[in-house]
Every structure is written in C-alpha cells, then in structure tokens.
Structure 1
C-alpha cells in the first residue's frame, strides 16, 4: 500500500486530559494552517478542537474545516483511530500524551503509536514536534511516504508440529 498524501491532509488530534489545554493552545495558534485540512479527534479532544477551530474561523471570517469526532480513547477511540490509519484514512497524528499520568487504556495508546509507526504516519507526541510537522514545506504538498513491505510476514509459513 503506497498511498499518496494529498495536499489536504487528514490529521488526527488526540490529547490526554492533562494535555488538552496544551493542545487547544496549539490548535488556536495554528488554526489557519489546520483549517485547510480535514481533522479527526477522539472524544473530548475532538469536541474541544471543533469548538476552538470554529471560534477562530468565525473571528476571522473563515470557513471551519470538517472535524470528525470519534469515541473517547478509553471507550475505543484510540482503536477507531488505529483502524482508520490501517485503512489509509489518516495522514498525520498529533497526540499530546501525558508521560506522568498512568492511563487506564495504556495498551490502546501503545497500539495506536505502534500502528502509526507501522504505517509510517508522521506522529507528534509533543508541541515541539507538532510545530516542526506543521511548519514543514511538505505540510501543504502531496507526499508519497515509503511503506515497508510486510507481505513476507503475511505469507510466511508456520510450522504447526
């Protein structure tokens, strides 16, 4: 699967509770760049992103982008997002996770991050990295990521003896 990322990216925005304020500040600061793309958010983060972007667009007489809202992370939102990545429906993940707070759905978080790496999805886990991604010259261009060929893994023989 070698899909070309279009100019209009499909960007997932996720933040743990203790990082939601940071995410909303980042979204408010970068609203103009984000408004040119399709956004996906899990649970409360999706709701807050939608509200923040809409407010900024109204203040600046701009059209708000589509924001797809998934379930909350602990209720399956991380898994929904992982599935979207597997299906080629996500181009980038901005995930402000909290390294100091244990999460009840830690295995889902790890699985989501693993799938992001497996499918070579640009992933930011903090504000600095998100700033680098959004300011990259590739952010508003088509891009063809190189996806590792895992067909050998899928077609491997398994000795059942």
Structure 2
C-alpha cells in the first residue's frame, strides 16, 4: 500500500446514512485518497464531500463509481481487491435486512479476508482504521502464500472427489 490509499466504500440502503455521516466527519482525510464506491453510495459520497469543499477543490475531487451492488458492484469491488487495486474496504452492511444479492456480499467479504485487506463492517472499526498511524504510511500487508493450492496436481484433486 502506498501513502495514498485506494479505499472501497459501500453501504446497504439502511446503512447509507451512517456511511455518509462518517464520510462527512472524515472528509479532510478522505480527499487525499482514491475512493472507489458502488453506484448509489458513490453518488451520495461524492455529493456530500463536494458540498464541503471549495469550488476549486471540488473540481479536482471525484469518486470512482462502479455499478450498484445488486447489479454487480460488489463483484466489481471484489475483482479490484483480487487485482490489488483496493487497499482497504469500508462496508457497512445491514445484518438485520436480508439482501437479494447476499451471495455477492459474502463473496466480497471473503475476498477481502483472502487478500488480507483491512475491512470495516461498522463505524467503530472504520474510525479505528482511518485514525491509525498507518493510514498515511506505506504499508505492506502479509499475504498468505497459496502456491501449494495453485500448484496442486489436478489428478489428485479429481481422484479424491470420486
């Protein structure tokens, strides 16, 4: 991770207000980083931050907006994580509301854990992450070596499932 982080931001509908409040509280830090968001969340975040900035700053600031979560945005974020293009993730998901794209949500969280990127699923964790001294430092996360898994002999995998 470089000093300028690539931050994935996503929130379910019932948590968008929480994320926007968090972004407004932390916008002075966030404007120095690259923000990548799922669709609706990205529009709301961009509007919230631009309202706080001077005109010249607002013109230079933008949010990369992916598709809406249920339309593939969660999967796009997961692909960016797998490709090393997201440094950490703030994902305020709603544990009380069933999601029609719940498998995508679980897949996104799985990929974040697999690639060992810091992930906040609530505001308290997001507060700790953004206030960490590592936020503005170069940081190299330890990645698990999956070479044995990748290099396994497929004939052994195939015969063990028979």
Structure 2 residue 66 is matched with structure 1 residue 70:
yes
| Aligned positions of 1:17-96 closer than 5 A | 17-58=13-54, 62-63=57-58, 65-96=61-92
Q: When the two structures are superposed, what TM-score results if normalisation uses the length of structure 2?
A: 0.92
1:126 to 122, 126, 148: 122
Map Cα deviations across residues 36-81 of structure 1 (whole Å, 9 max, x no partner).
Answer: 100001010011011111111138x745533100000000000000
Q: Is the 8 A contact 1:8 1:38 kept in 2?
A: yes
SS in structure 1 at match of 2:100: coil
Matched, 1:6 2:2: yes
1:116 match: 112
RMSD (Å) for aligned C-alpha atoms = 1.3
Q: Structure 1, unaligned stretches of length 5 or more?
A: none
More helix, by proportion: 2
SS in 1 for 2:134: coil
- Structure 2 unaligned regions, length at least 5: none
Q: Which has the higher contact order (CA 8 A, sep 6+)?
A: 1
Number of residue-to-residue matches in the alignment:
156
